[in-house]
Each structure stands twice: as structure tokens, then as C-alpha cells.
A and B are shown apart, each in its own frame.
Chain A
């Protein structure tokens, strides 16, 4: 019974709860049990909110039993919240020692929306410290393991959220994507993750990494579940000045349309620059079969040229460190968080430096120093200023491409999941994981990863990246849903259904 519930999709669970086939408390308990059983191996969660979650579920049950109108189409469904999103009274660390033990006194806008929707928040998921990384190895609290192969990384920075989905610990999860932190983890765990148009989902209460790039988004094991969650968290927020004043896109309807009508008549662009060198053969062959499947389903495939994408990585690794060097300045041991060296003689300045030196991990410090350098007098124009110009060029590349195609596709990640520890000492090699996802981040367009299959060379899942134009979420979801349906029709199974069971591997 328990295992049954954790294997179901969010949409199925929601209707089972709404029809009172099962109670929200039963569903929550099943997932908490699953977490108890497999998380010692996977380590997706930094904090599990057992009591809060059960109380939330009980409230959903009470409302249903009282005949009240459902809070949302996902009422009672459990969710794993990335630990970068604040939830009042629940420990939030952003994967850093510097915030260990911090209890936020307020809710992020998306947390509020989730709670108002009756979605049950199971706990906070592991991540690279302050979302800096592509493997979740930069968490101060130890790495998360990929349920496909526990010796592999689950992607990053949102590896806790992707692993929670792949381990059937939660049917829904929240991620945040700055350069690929939703899409790349989805890709390497065989799950689905969408980065909305920048400003489509509020950033208020999401601990900032790079403000001009950060974008929270929905994650799940199916495209429909992702779309349903997308509609819950999206929408204009007056607390976020960069939030787009637009109605929530009808992505659930777009999914239904993709399932029903497919992609016939759509033009799909393959980005010339996102493939080839640096991409694993198994990834490329999975991508080619995805292209063939879409073509067979009636899409017209065109190749598009985006010449400035090759500068994306360089621009990204200037913009991100610059903004994060400023965003992370507030972690200074004065008002909250860790304080080290306050012996009564040390000055505030010394205590700040000692605390930040000890409280931040290596990658965080590396990027803060890099960003401080890039912003310093005399270097701004050459670095940050030029990087912002590259963004313009990349945006223009996208604009031209969307004159030729409705959506663009590429592999979501150049490789399948690599081994834990394999790249930790080589930051540049690590940074290459975001090669395919960064251009979309810089342009602020919506982009998502859906499983395209399993790589023949590694036996691990591969992600297909689908990118829409700004505010083009509906097109993007339609193609994703059509592709997912096509894969099921062709293979008789979906990728997430092939994730190995973890029971018995624990302890």
C-alpha cells in the first residue's frame, strides 16, 4: 500500500485524495516512511518536517471531509522543498554551515502559495551550498546520491530535489535554476524540471545566488505533474520587483493538448552549438533518437545557428560570481547565523572575516573572490559590463532562432551522471556541466528537461532540453508532453518507471 502510493504521480494522488480513496495523511505518511527507509542512502533531505507535514495533511483531509472546496488541484500531495526557499519556523540552510540552525521568521512567496494550495511540504532538500554547483557535492552537509546509482551525483545544485523525486520520496519538488540547477539535475536523474521565464515565479524568500538569473521552478516525475505545480507557484508577486505582471500560463491545458494533438505542424529547432564536442556519445545518440521521434510525430526539424552561445559560459561565470559576491555579503555573523571568534577582544570586522572564512565552503569562497575581482574598479567594463553585453547577443541569437522555430531543443546536460568525487578538484570541468543550460538562463527564457531515454554507454538517464521564447511556457510544455507520450507509446514505459528500486540497498 505504502509503496503503491509513492509510485503514483501527483495528479493521481490528488484525485485519489479528492475522491477520498485515500486520505492526505495516508499519502503523507507513505512518503515519510519512504524517506525513513531510503534517505539514509540517498540523503536527499536536510530536514524532514514530519509533524508539520502530517498536520498539514490532516487539515486537507478535514477540509475535504467537511465538503469545503479543494484548495487546489494538488491539495494533499506531498512536496520536497529545496533548502534555498524559506519556510517560517523550518530550518533553512541553503546547504551552508553559515546558516546552520537558522529558523526563518517568514515564508517565501512560493512557500505561501504551496501551503495555500494544500500541498504538503515534507521537508527541505539538499543542495550545493548557496546553489553553487552541478553535483550537490558542495553541500556543507554531505553529498546526495543518485537513486539510479548511489555512487553517482544527482546533479546540482538541486540534487536533493531531483533525487527525492527519483527515489520516490516525493512526487513533487521545488528547484531553483540559475544556470541549470533545475534542468541538469532533472536530466541526470531521469525526472522532469522546468525553469520558467525569468520573473514568472516570485523570487521573494528564495535565498539569492545571482539575482538577475535565479528562477524557482517546478520539478516532478511527469510533465503533467510539473505543469500542475507550475500553475500553483507562478504568477505576479508585488514583493518581487522583477516579477512579470502577467497571468499564470495555462500550462496544464498545454500538456493536455500535447498529449492529445502531439507536435504535428510545429517547427522544432536544433541548436547547432549545443551538441558535438564535449557531449558524451550516449547523450548525443539519445538526443538523436529524440529528434527522430519528434520528427516522426509530425514536427518539422530545423537547424538553428546561435553563434554567441559559445560565450555563454564565460559570461555566466562573470555575472554569477559578481552578483553572488554582493548577495552573500549579508552573511556576516551580526544578525543571524554562525558567529565565530567573538572572544570579547576581536572586532566586528575580524569576526565577520573569521565567520565567513570558516562558514563558507571552498566553491563559495572561490566565487566570492572571483566576483569581487570582476566588479572592482577598473575591471567592471571588461568583465561584468562585457558579460552583460554578451547576454544581449545571446538574447538576439534566441530571437532570430524563434523566427525559424517554435521551440528549440538540445541535450540538457553534456553527460549522464558522473561519479561522486570525480570532478571536485577541477572547477572548470565542473562548470562545463552547465554548457547547454546557461544560454537559456542568460536570456531568461523558459526551458525544461524531460527524460529522452537511457544512454547506451552508461545505462543512465539522459535529459532532453526544450526551450521556449520568453513567456512561451505553453509551447514548451506542449512539446514536452507530446514527447513524453511518444516515448511511452514507443517504449511501453517511461524513464522514471525504470529507476531501480532502492529497498534493500539501505544499510
Chain B
């Protein structure tokens, strides 16, 4: 693949990323994104210029720690409401197309 300093995505890279993110793309879309992503990556890669090892990353703007909830039950969604938006359901469960293979 490429290094972060000189991002140069290939068409296969974009296709692979699309697959990883479960996006069915047309050939035309692949071409468009290939061009655009190259430009964008070129300009965002400069974050590396200033981010030294001594800089702590900020993950939250206002730092907090140890935010917990008590182990106390709260009402669930009514069963019908849980399934109401399902594209398909059967006997109280979400019906989905066949799942092939195990991934996890």
C-alpha cells in the first residue's frame, strides 16, 4: 500500500474500502471517489506535520472520567415498538437475509 505521507490510493484500494464499509459502488462512483479522495488525502495528511510525540491526543473537548450508571433496570421498548420498523420480522424476531459464515 502507500505511506501516510504520500497518499496515493489505487482503484483497488477504493474498492476494498467500499467493501469494508459495505458500500456497493458503481464503476463510475469508484472513479469519482478515487480522484476526489486523492485530493482530500493530500490536503489532510498535513496533520502529521505538527503532531509530535509529546502531544497528547484530545479525545473529549471537556475532559471527564468515570461516568457510570447504576445497575438498575429501566423499562425496555414494548416488543411491538422494537419490531415496528423492521423491514421484515417473523415470530417476534427480526427476519434478515441469510447470514453467510461467521466473522467474529
Measured CB to CB, the residues of A under 8 A from B are 102-103, 105-106, 197-199, 212, 238, 241-242, 244-245, 308, 311, 313-315, 317-318, 325, 329, 332-339, 342, 344, 346-354, 356-358, 360, 362, 365-366, 368-370, 372-373, 376, 378-379, 381-383, 385-393, 395, 427-428, 442-445, 470-471
B47 contacts which chain A residues (CB < 8 A)?
Answer: 311, 314-315, 318, 383, 386-387, 389-390
8 inter-chain pairs at a CB distance below 8 angstroms, sorted by A residue, are A242-B67, A311-B50, A334-B87, A346-B97, A373-B9, A387-B51, A389-B55, A443-B61
CB proximity of A69 to chain B, nearest CB, Å: 28
Given contacts A348-B96, A356-B23, contact A314 B44 (CB under 8 A): yes
Bound together, the chains give a CA A131 to CA B18 distance in angstroms of 21
CB proximity of B13 to chain A, nearest CB, Å: 8
Bound together, the chains give a CA A376 to CA B25 distance in angstroms of 20
B29 contacts which chain A residues (CB < 8 A)?
Answer: 362, 365
Residue of B5, B23, B48 near A360 (CB, 8 A) is B23
CB proximity of A146 to chain B, nearest CB, Å: 26
B46 contacts which chain A residues (CB < 8 A)?
Answer: 311, 314
Shortest 5 CB-CB contacts between residues of A and residues of B:
A444-B61, A382-B4, A357-B24, A388-B57, A389-B51
With contacts defined as CB atoms under 8 Å apart, how many contacts are there between chain A and chain B in the complex? 196
Q: Is the pair B84, A103 in contact by a Cβ cutoff of 8 Å?
A: yes
Bound together, the chains give a CA A332 to CA B96 distance in angstroms of 11
Given contacts A244-B62, A382-B4, A444-B62, contact A427 B77 (CB under 8 A): no
Q: Is the pair A242, B17 in contact by a Cβ cutoff of 8 Å?
A: no
Given contacts A348-B97, A360-B23, A370-B40, contact A382 B62 (CB under 8 A): no
Q: Indicate whether B104 reaches chain A with its CB closer than 8 angstroms.
A: no
Q: Is the pair B17, A369 in contact by a Cβ cutoff of 8 Å?
A: yes
B56 contacts which chain A residues (CB < 8 A)?
Answer: 389, 392
Bound together, the chains give a CA A349 to CA B96 distance in angstroms of 10
CB proximity of B53 to chain A, nearest CB, Å: 9
Q: Indicate whether B91 reaches chain A with its CB closer than 8 angstroms.
A: no
B99 contacts which chain A residues (CB < 8 A)?
Answer: 347-349
B49 contacts which chain A residues (CB < 8 A)?
Answer: 311
Which B1-36 residues have a C-beta within 8 angstroms of A? Answer: 1, 4-5, 9, 13-14, 17-25, 29, 32-33, 36
Name the residue of chain B whose CB is nearest to the CB of A342: B97
